[in-house]
Structure 1
């Protein structure tokens, strides 16, 4: 039987929501092992002078606990 845990991560990027997601997983995987999946819960963007300056994601990461 596997035991899974879910944590919530916030990340941002000046490139895209996908880049913010990749950055979050890359950073989380340094300390969290056995990541199984990621669920993008929310997406938002910061706007300044009519231009998007940052893409933000709120993620739920699921990983196996040994």
Structure 2
């Protein structure tokens, strides 16, 4: 039986929500091992002068505890 833990991570990107999600996983993997999945909990964007200037994600990252 595996023991899994979930952490919540906020990340942002100037290009896309997908890129923000990738950044969240890359950053979390620096201190957390055995990442199994990522769940996008929330997406938002900042708008400046009528254009999206920043994409933001709130993700839940699941990893196995050994």
TM-score under structure 1 normalisation?
0.98
Question: Which digits, 9 at most, give the CA deviation of each residue in 1:17-55, with x for residues without a partner?
Answer: 000000110111010000000000000000011010000
- The reply to whether residue 56 of structure 1 matches residue 56 of structure 2 is yes
Specify the SS of the correspondent of 2:58.
strand
**1:8 corresponding residue in structure 2:** 8
Query: Runs in 1 of length 4+ with deviation above 6 angstroms?
Result: none
Structure 2 spans left out of the alignment, 5+ residues: none
- What is the aligned residue count? 66
Specify the SS of the correspondent of 2:31.
coil
Structure 1 spans left out of the alignment, 5+ residues: none
TM-score under structure 2 normalisation?
0.98
- The reply to whether residue 31 of structure 1 matches residue 3 of structure 2 is no
Alignment RMSD:
0.4
How many Å separate the matches in 1 of 2:31 and 2:7?
Answer: 12
